[in-house]
Chain A
């Protein structure tokens, strides 16, 4: 069994069910969101997780046959098979509202710079690595996307097509 970039393979539930050594398990993927952001597995109870292309994990509502050869299944969720796993902007926007940790709140000026793709120096006492950048809008905190915090700097990893250009 090998990884195939043209099809969706459902993630094995746990290590015991794993046939492809490099493939992440459901337990690891859901566990990572909990560990990193305090987003519990109950948020994903109705979803299934899939790999298409080496390391690209997708999240989809409900059950589907595995493997499935189609163009898209739900949304890209997490990049694995690299030293530091990286959540997608779209996943953080959809599921990140309930995050309990590793969320960096940005004031209006910094929020605007962030969504324009600018890196900026920030004060941050928490973990290094991938954070959820958020701002306040319409009375509540709302996730903007993914930032990479290293050496006192927050790098915006908002993809080009998702940035604000005004």
Chain B
């Protein structure tokens, strides 16, 4: 938890922030509308005696009153998938439309891929990419369990992603849910900060810049790129955006955010970032009882 003290200047009510980081997360699932509607899923949970609570901002997100959502009929049928509440956010910000071509650049284990596919009614194409074979196998398992047919899985380094296998030149939208230092998932994995080091953060930041840059290049002019992480470190969030704003044709745009959030920071450790980065949003654990998260929406202009 000591690591988090570096964020004291950024976070209001820092004591409440630390206290929230020590609590475990509620069991939250997303209803997979490709296989069943929200009402039918709720009826099945009722029949099994499993309680649930709605999330006002998204009807497909339910908190379940059980430690084992995997031991329910709706799970067996692929009607629900475990996904932390704030993790459901970036796909809604991406706002993919049926029939579009979408890249999920760092897709494993596939929760966000599946949500994107569901928002597209399992039409069009979602390319789910990751470079880790083990994690890709989890992604494939999840996508098939959820009954998705519009997902194509690739194993590439997202920094050099090639569209060659697909025979078209650009995606309509791309999600970069980047590999990160994962500080924000401390409520799920309390040991996540044990290995923390500034040099790791800086190293990951370099990878993130490379991935986001390539994502912007692979998306058509006028298209949307969403960048998200589950970390608080500005080095991995605002600094990455600042870097691509200089080198690529894109701009940061505002988005409606149903969860309580704070603007992206424009100053950190003596560095200054582009003013438009205030349009990015930071999500802290004590504001919505979720994990920590960062999300930015970019429009490709060139």
Contact = CB atoms under 8 A, between A and B. Distances in A.
B44 A93 contact: no
Nearest to B147: A94
B77 A74 contact: no
A94 B47 contact: no
Interface residues of B, number: 37
Contact of B153 (A72, A142, A165): A72
A74 B151 contact: yes
Interface stretch (A22-30, A54-62, A79-87): A54-62
Interface in B209-247: none
B56 interface: no
A50 to B, nearest CB: 11
Interface stretch (A13-21, A63-71, A124-132): A63-71
Given A93-B77, A137-B47, A71 B141 contact: no
Contacts of A68: 152, 165-166
B140 A72 contact: yes
A47 B43 contact: no
Contacts of A65: 165-167
Given A74-B151, A137-B77, A162 B145 contact: yes
A164 B166 CA distance: 37
Contacts of A71: 136, 140, 153-155
Contacts of A46: 123
Contacts of A104: none
Contacts of A88: 144
Interface stretch (B68-76, B86-94, B196-204, B254-262): B68-76
A138 interface: yes
A79 B76 CA distance: 22
B219 to A, nearest CB: 19
Contacts of B43: 138-139
Interface in B124-151: 124-125, 128, 136, 140-141, 143-145, 147-151
A62 B144 contact: no
A97 B286 CA distance: 43
B78 interface: yes
B166 A137 contact: no
Which of A59, A70, A115 has the most B CB atoms < 10 Å from its CB?
Answer: A70
Interface string A106-141: 000000000100000000000000000000011110
Interface of A: 46-47, 59-62, 64-65, 68-76, 88, 90, 93-94, 115, 137-140, 142, 144, 161-162, 164-166
Given A59-B149, A70-B152, 12 more contacts: A60-B152, A61-B122, A61-B123, A62-B124, A65-B167, A69-B165, A72-B152, A74-B149, A75-B147, A93-B35, A137-B44, A138-B44
11 contacts: A62-B124, A64-B152, A68-B166, A71-B155, A74-B149, A76-B144, A88-B144, A90-B78, A94-B147, A142-B77, A164-B76
